[in-house]
Amino acid sequence: MKKVYFDHNATTPIHPKVRSAIEPFLGEKFGNPSSIHWAGREVRAYVEEAREKVASLINSDPSEVIFTSCGSEGDNMAIKGVLMGNLKKGRHIVTTVVEHPAVFRTCKFLEDFDFEVTYVPVDSYGMIDPDDVRKAIRKDTVLISVMFANNETGNLFPIKEISAIAKENDIVFHTDAVQVVGKIPIDVKELGVDLLTASGHKFNAPKGIGFQYIRKGVKILPLISGGHQERELRAGTENMLGIVAIGEASQIAKEEMNEKSRHIGYLRDRLEKGILETIPYTVINGHPEKRLYNTTNISFKFIEAEALLVMLDMNGIAVSTGSACSSGATEPSYVLQAMSLDPLCSRGALRFSLGYGNTEEDVDYCLSVLPSLVEKIRKMSPFYKK
């Protein structure tokens, strides 16, 4: 059976060049980079080389890049670390209702410890208004955390504007850029962000590695205390495989960004247009323009998205719903709920996210099987009358 992977916002395949770059670290290059002897010295340089490659991808100074284990760690580090480092200033956070759980649930966790959080709403396109962020600011606001792009809709948020608002008010600004790093150009200096979180497995490095940009001068405490690694901001013997991999993935992303965005953008548009034109009662969720080029979130009305997901899977096509299956009952995704979507739409929403390795044949295969699957499910729906 043909296999098609349209779930790159969940995770991505490892790039073959990344795989060859880490090969030696599964063998002879096993040293601990903190060791003074030859085995340590041999690998030390690779850590700094990777840091330079990451820094070059986001236009930061290498000293402002800290390696972490994943995006979730980065989000936790930014939020908990900045609050713990600025307790004298206050205990208030401003964030949005559509953050990834790594941010959202970290904020919820902190509420149990007497921190206060304001969740800025989104409109029906799933966009936030920078003015709402401004209005949420209080005297005791320590941190604003707003994601760069939403993982479910692909919406791109006005990070530069929000960053300027944070600066005017002398508040630290963090952005979860996990869905953006490696996809579109990022310049942390131009954006003016204080902290930025990224995850390797979302841009063709393996799982278990991420990085955090921390602007020089930001007050932050570590999540993980211990040895002197990573400027004492993240203890633990370095994950050499991961670090080398994310360095290589950063270099590849930078070199191939233009070509990738053109190619993947073309495929996404072809898929989206094909679906809208051949399948009735379909709508796109998210902002029509301010959206990542690889993502499309489409509602198939009169359908339970899970049923369609399973049938696509039986045909070798991997996609995703944003919904969480809790205690057997599926709840529509909280992101789509926050957009106040008609339940008819939110129940039937599927996310297709494209990326490295996808081809025109993938798209055309999907377009060839999708209409009949949708029709089959709709025929079983008591609400659907054609």
- Which residues participate in catalysis according to the annotation? 325
Instruction: Confirm or reject binding of residue 354 to ligand PLP (CB under 6 A).
Output: no
Instruction: Confirm or reject binding of residue 151 to ligand PLP (CB under 6 A).
Output: yes
Give the relative orientation of helices 240-278 and 360-379 as an angle to the nearest 10 degrees: 60
- Among 58, 102, 127, 195, which residue sits at the site for ligand PLP (rule: CB under 6 A)? 102
* Smallest separation, CB 197 to ligand PLP (Å): 7
Instruction: Confirm or reject binding of residue 18 to ligand PLP (CB under 6 A).
Output: no
* Smallest separation, CB 147 to ligand PLP (Å): 6
Our CB check for ligand PLP shows the closer of 179 and 282 to be 179
Our CB check for ligand PLP shows the closer of 18 and 303 to be 18
Instruction: Confirm or reject binding of residue 12 to ligand PLP (CB under 6 A).
Output: no
> Which region, judged by CB under 6 A, interacts with ligand PLP, from 64-72, 280-288, 327-335, 357-365?
64-72
Total chain residues near ligand PLP (CB under 6 A): 15
- Minimal CB distance residue for ligand PLP: 71
Instruction: Confirm or reject binding of residue 70 to ligand PLP (CB under 6 A).
Output: yes
- Among 60, 155, 179, 282, which residue sits at the site for ligand PLP (rule: CB under 6 A)? 179
Our CB check for ligand PLP shows the closer of 253 and 303 to be 253
Our CB check for ligand PLP shows the closer of 94 and 374 to be 94
CA dist., res. 198 & res. 349, Å (int): 26
Residues found near ligand PLP in the complex (CB under 6 A): 70-72, 75, 100, 102, 147, 151, 176, 178-179, 199, 201-202, 210
